[in-house]
Structure 1
Amino acid sequence: MTAPAAERTPTGERPDPPPPPQDEPDDPRLAAAALSELRRPVAGRTRLAVALAAVGALAALVPFAGLAALGDLLLADGPLDRPAVVAVAAGLLARGLLLGAALTITHFADVDLQAHLRRRIVRRLGRVPLGWFGEHSSGSVRKAAQNDIAALHHLIAHHAVETTAATVLPLGGLAYLLWLDWRLALLALGTLPLYALAYAWMMRGYREKAARLDAATARISSAVVEFVTGIGVVKTFGRARRAHDAYREAAEEFGNFYADWVRPMLRVEALSSMLISAPVVGLLNLLGAVWFTAQGRVTPVDALTGFLIALVIPTTAVALGFGAQDRRTAAAAALRLRALLDTPELPVAAEPRVPAGGAVEFDDVRFGYGPGSEVLRGVDLDLAPGTVTALVGPSGAGKSTLATLLPRFHDVTGGAVRVGGVDVREVDPEELYRSVGFVLQDVALVHGTVADNIRLGRPDATDDEVVAAARAAQIHDRVLQLPEGYGAVDALLSGGEAQRVAIARALLADTPVLVLDEATAFADPESEAAVQDALSELARGRTLLVIAHRLRTIAGADQIAVLDGGVVVERGAHDDLLALGGKYARMWTAQEGEQR
């Protein structure tokens, strides 16, 4: 039975209706299997903690028996029974120590499991193709590494121990009441059937309504994003009121649906919560105990014992409800973590080979991001060592896709990409990245100092080598203007400045082959010349594959390949392609006309 999820009150009850189950797994069986697999490293410690919790819960029954013995003595005007007093104190102490030890074990297990899972994620993501990161946002990875792992905390650190204690104690208490008198046992359970019926009524159609609520939530989120991101445009064209109306309508739809769903449940929820509250359970059992005693069916001491134990039994419903909700949330998180940990790794050759030289060959290369979506359709292209080859063409022609196959962001679906005469699939990834470097449009500067970011190209580089690379990349003077210089952490740099840091990184790596994907795309006009000078330094003596949209920047390339529709339609030097009068010539004429 699942208790409605809301903030817990001091009495442990949840008076509010259930929230939308946004972490409800689509397939509970797969989710349960994923959760079981992820918990395996700490399963032994969890079982030990459960055993301690069970013994501790049973120890909590000892004070009830001790109090009953003391009650018998007091009613008989007998002397105080010291063993009974010791039993009461020992039972309370044992319960506290055993449950405390169990929770300590599970909390340490939780910390170890979180570290273990994060290490697994790091190891897995360190072996996936680089192209995977372009298809998956950093937010989804962060959610898995932080939120989803954190969602396992309550299940690992609390659920097993608390659920065991909340189950064993009432069951043990019920068994004890059955031993005393079966009437007391039935009386202790008196309100639970009514609570179960009320809860079943509240939860009817829950999944269907929850799905509708998720859809309404998605619509209001979409309306918010649309309103915020497009506010400049709609205000410019005087349509702000209409955009606001769309948001208001989505919000009203959400509010009306949720209110219609929740309103009928509030009265029933209040009633069901009262049915398992201490005052109601206590009053029912007190009246019943008085009546049974008056009828001579039970002794006063047994009636008092039944009353005390009855106050414990209804808490099972609340505790198990919390545990069920926590388990569903954790199972959904486990399913997402399992999917991340099952991400296919980049295949590594059993006997890796080492490239010899900087020659690059695209041999009948075919590639698609999925079935029926072939982006490249038989590309043949040779890059001679020490030359510059430029890829140009319309958007969607496959330029960036072809370039990223060289550093093996993805594996070809047909043909081969070779570096130094060796298929890149036969090169160990670490060796490949010592042979092929890349500077992409979207510059990635990691958390750390400027020097740390440049050293990514070669972690063992000296300070002098870092400075030399920065000078060659035309970024040294700008770094010195920062308050901490090369030690500046997370320095605020413009797009062009960040690009030059990436170029310094590539210079320090000193790879014989380099891929440049529109390296001046985000450079501001003032720094574009500096970026171009840095690229000229970077190109010296290397085999370059350059993606360009501004044709003027690659007019001096040794070879220009024009891609269109996933195939090379023209190839040659700038003057030769202009004389050909084909696609490149038309692109050149169009761009030159725009600049006039």
Structure 2
Amino acid sequence: MNTVTRVLAPVRGTLAAAVALQALGSVAGVAPFVAVAEIGRALLAPEPVASDRIWLLVGLGAGAAVLALIATTLATTLTHLADNRLQLLLRRRIAGHLARVSPGWFSARSSGHVSKALQDDVHSLHYLVGHTLLDVTAVLVTPLAALVYLAAVDWRLALLALVPLVAGALLFRKAMSGAGPLMAEYGRAQTEINAGIVEFVDGIAVVKTFGRGRSAHRRFVAACDAFHDFFASWQRRTTSVTTASQLVVTPSLVLLLLLGAGTVLVVAGWTPATALIPFALLGPAIVAPMGAVGPRIQALRGGTAAAASIEALLAEPVQPQPAVGGEPEGTTVTLHDVAFRYPGTESDALAGVDLELRPGTVTALVGPSGAGKTTLATLVPRFHDVTGGAIRIGGVDVRELDARTLYRSVGFVFQDTTLLRTSVADNIALGRPGAAREEIVDAARAARIHERILALGRGYDAVVGEDAEFSGGERQRLSIARALLADTPVLVLDEATAFADPESEAAICDALSELAVGRTLLVVAHRLHTVAGADEIVVLESGRVTEQGRHDELLALGGRYARMWAAQDGTVLAGQGVPR
């Protein structure tokens, strides 16, 4: 079973019925031409023909035309219903599958990757399901039905009608030889153009600032020139053959061939002159598929590629869930000999990490860029599964907690805050959809974002992205309000003030004060003054814990932390630690 068949499996029965109806409609569509041809032969026959037979042919032709219209209309309706149902099923299936993959899977992929599968790839199946299957059926059945009738009239002319079809097919095959690598090169050339456009648009301001405006569009122009050269070369190699494959199946040429050969047969007395009427009407229909084969092949390729992309996404491994989830006893978080390696890499991002996060305390993770701070923080809410050791909450391994229990126990506020395109109130209540408006407002007050929300035209009912736009610091405070409302006993903060200006940073620190009360906090920090008052500061280097203790103790050691503090001029910033 190939990829397309597997993806289309949910609507296979409906599509089979639609194809059968299309085949019936295609045969019925040939019948009126057969009736006209037979009427012509009867009226031109030497012997007179009874009028009843003529009217019978008229009735059969008219009835067949109506049947063709009904059958093809029903077939099109069925394929579009199948397409609508398939898109719904696939989007639900993809969304359900993505809900079960590791949350960390998304950090390694852009939103465009998921959007392409959910929107573009699923939509790309529309033409395949709604049109192409019926088109392919029609271009195969119609010529076959016509050929059967013409063979019954004169088998020699029927065989001659196949000659242009065979010649066209051979020429088209020659034109398409090597198309696979060429299409791949075509895609790469298009990608270079797109990259050049993005670079031009994103970089024009910076480049012009340094007086090099001409160089801003250099990559774009180079990509366009390369695409032109490639495409022109491809066209030069294939144009003559492609043109020939189209010319040999043109209706006028086929008609000329059949009538010319038919005239020879009539003059030789091998066939009656009336035999030419069916070939004049139906002969060109035999070679009609060649005129439409190119777009159909392209549609099939596009549908196949989309189906393969969807199937690959659905094949992404899901995060294992326990059959029966455990229940934490307390909120102490312990990390025992934790190791982690990102998929596809050869070295550990973390190794041999042992920590204990006690209830009501703040533990800060600091260290140089790339030390593994964010990686370690994301392991606690199980955005990834450890590759060695264990992380436990209340004595239970996080891998033995079902998702509901885990996220009822652990909350997080990360650098990149995502707000949904819904109301401000719904964004805050994301962790508790049933929360009362008063609770949402209280959380916003505590997060120091209430006044900003009231300033919006629709207040808490304002839709993010339509009625309201928020700065980085404001988005962080909305995220903090969300965490406050969720009220989890364990909280992970990854540089919550990263995108804040000094005024917003002060407001965020005030909000964090509210958030920290009575909770177990794990804080990732780059600005050391924000964590100087933490109960425990853990220094990570190359994925390992190298120093651990309180601020004064680490300064006294004179090691990595002390050097980092000095580099950030921490003596000036002393006393601005995280509020407790």
TM-score past 0.5 threshold: yes
Q: Is the 8 A contact 1:191 1:275 kept in 2?
A: yes
Match of 1:427 among 381, 401, 408: 401
Match of 2:151 among 178, 194, 200: 178
In the alignment, what sits opposite 1:41? 10
Task: Tell me the amino acid that sits aligned with residue 237 of structure 1.
Answer: F
1:160-171 map, 5 Å: 160-171=133-144
Q: Is the 8 A contact 2:246 2:290 kept in 1?
A: no
Q: Is the 8 A contact 1:163 1:319 kept in 2?
A: no
The residue matched to 1:362 in structure 2 has which SS? strand
Give deviations 1:127-167, integer Å, cap 9, x for gaps. Answer: 11110111111111111011111111122122222211221
In terms of mean alpha carbon deviation, does 278-287 or 145-154 score higher?
A: 278-287
Match of 2:82 among 76, 93, 109: 109
* Mapped partners of 1:555, 1:216: distance in 2: 52
In the alignment, what sits opposite 2:304? 331
1:44, CA displacement in angstroms?
A: 1.2
Give deviations 1:209-232, integer Å, cap 9, x for gaps. Answer: 334433433444444433433334
1:309, CA displacement in angstroms?
A: 1.2
* Mapped partners of 1:418, 1:537: distance in 2: 26
In the alignment, what sits opposite 2:124? 151
Number of residue pairs matched by the alignment: 565
In the alignment, what sits opposite 2:168? 195
Unaligned runs of 5+ in 2: 574-580
Q: Is the 8 A contact 1:360 1:382 kept in 2?
A: yes
* Mapped partners of 1:110, 1:131: distance in 2: 32
1:79, CA displacement in angstroms?
A: 4.5
Q: Is the 8 A contact 1:184 1:303 kept in 2?
A: no
Among all aligned residue pairs of Structure 1 and Structure 2, give the percentage whose two residues are the same amino acid.
51
1:196, CA displacement in angstroms?
A: 2.7
* Mapped partners of 1:372, 1:150: distance in 2: 38
Match of 1:130 among 103, 107, 123: 103
In the alignment, what sits opposite 1:378? 352
1:487-506 map, 5 Å: 487-490=461-464, 491-506=468-483
Match of 2:243 among 250, 270, 278: 270
Match of 1:53 among 10, 13, 22: 22
* Mapped partners of 2:259, 2:203: distance in 1: 65
1:62, CA displacement in angstroms?
A: 2.3
1:267, CA displacement in angstroms?
A: 4.2
In the alignment, what sits opposite 1:515? 492
Give deviations 1:294-343, integer Å, cap 9, x for gaps. Answer: 33322233211122111211112233433322111111111110111111
In terms of mean alpha carbon deviation, does 280-289 or 565-574 score higher?
A: 280-289
Q: Is the 8 A contact 2:529 2:570 kept in 1?
A: no
Q: Is the 8 A contact 1:385 1:542 kept in 2?
A: yes
The residue matched to 2:173 in structure 1 has which SS? helix
Q: Is the 8 A contact 1:364 1:380 kept in 2?
A: yes
- Return the TM-score normalized by structure 1: 0.91
Q: Is the 8 A contact 1:363 1:379 kept in 2?
A: yes
1:266, CA displacement in angstroms?
A: 3.2
2:252 corresponds to 1:279: yes
* Mapped partners of 2:427, 2:217: distance in 1: 44
1:236, CA displacement in angstroms?
A: 3.5
Give deviations 1:509-566, integer Å, cap 9, x for gaps. Answer: 0000000000010112221111110010011111000011111111111111111111
1:207, CA displacement in angstroms?
A: 3.0
The residue matched to 2:234 in structure 1 has which SS? helix
The residue matched to 1:312 in structure 2 has which SS? helix
Q: Is the 8 A contact 1:358 1:386 kept in 2?
A: no
Q: Is the 8 A contact 1:188 1:310 kept in 2?
A: yes
Give deviations 1:153-185, integer Å, cap 9, x for gaps. Answer: 122122222211221111121122112111220
Task: Tell me the amino acid that sits aligned with residue 513 of structure 1.
Answer: V
Match of 2:57 among 67, 84, 87: 84
* Bigger relative contact order (CA 8 A; separation at least 6): 1
1:383, CA displacement in angstroms?
A: 0.6
CA RMSD of aligned residues (A): 1.9
2:403 corresponds to 1:391: no
* Mapped partners of 1:61, 1:212: distance in 2: 42
Task: Tell me the amino acid that sits aligned with residue 111 of structure 2.
Answer: S
The residue matched to 1:448 in structure 2 has which SS? coil
The residue matched to 2:324 in structure 1 has which SS? coil
Task: Tell me the amino acid that sits aligned with residue 499 of structure 1.
Answer: Q
2:389 corresponds to 1:418: no
In the alignment, what sits opposite 1:472? 446
* Mapped partners of 1:160, 1:494: distance in 2: 50
1:201-350 map, 5 Å: 201-350=174-323
Q: Is the 8 A contact 1:366 1:378 kept in 2?
A: yes
The residue matched to 1:374 in structure 2 has which SS? coil
2:547 corresponds to 1:570: yes
In the alignment, what sits opposite 1:353? 326
* Mapped partners of 2:126, 2:396: distance in 1: 48
2:460 corresponds to 1:486: yes
1:595, CA displacement in angstroms?
A: 6.5
The residue matched to 2:476 in structure 1 has which SS? helix
* Mapped partners of 2:411, 2:144: distance in 1: 66
Task: Tell me the amino acid that sits aligned with residue 447 of structure 1.
Answer: R
Q: Is the 8 A contact 2:41 2:275 kept in 1?
A: no
Give deviations 1:363-400, integer Å, cap 9, x for gaps. Answer: 11000103422010110010111111111111011100
In the alignment, what sits opposite 2:578? none
1:440, CA displacement in angstroms?
A: 0.4
1:593, CA displacement in angstroms?
A: 6.5
* Mapped partners of 1:160, 1:496: distance in 2: 53
* Mapped partners of 1:212, 1:391: distance in 2: 47
* Mapped partners of 1:108, 1:214: distance in 2: 32
* Mapped partners of 2:139, 2:302: distance in 1: 20
1:594, CA displacement in angstroms?
A: 9.9
The residue matched to 1:189 in structure 2 has which SS? helix
Match of 1:440 among 396, 411, 414: 414
Task: Tell me the amino acid that sits aligned with residue 39 of structure 1.
Answer: L
Match of 2:531 among 542, 554, 561: 554
Give deviations 1:462-510, integer Å, cap 9, x for gaps. Answer: 0111111100110000000001100111120111111111110000000
Task: Tell me the amino acid that sits aligned with residue 346 of structure 2.
Answer: G
Q: Is the 8 A contact 1:73 1:79 kept in 2?
A: no
The residue matched to 1:493 in structure 2 has which SS? coil
Q: Is the 8 A contact 1:439 1:503 kept in 2?
A: yes
1:268, CA displacement in angstroms?
A: 4.0
1:271, CA displacement in angstroms?
A: 3.8
* Mapped partners of 1:300, 1:86: distance in 2: 25
2:558 corresponds to 1:581: yes
Q: Is the 8 A contact 2:165 2:286 kept in 1?
A: no
In the alignment, what sits opposite 1:401? 375
Change in 2 beyond 3 A, CA 1:217/1:68: closer
* Mapped partners of 1:593, 1:545: distance in 2: 21
Match of 2:93 among 120, 123, 145: 120
Q: Is the 8 A contact 2:37 2:281 kept in 1?
A: no
In terms of mean alpha carbon deviation, does 432-441 or 255-264 score higher?
A: 255-264
In the alignment, what sits opposite 1:100? 73
* Mapped partners of 2:547, 2:90: distance in 1: 50
* Mapped partners of 2:513, 2:282: distance in 1: 84
Task: Tell me the amino acid that sits aligned with residue 326 of structure 2.
Answer: R
Flag as ranges the 4+ runs of structure 1 deviating above 6 A.
593-596
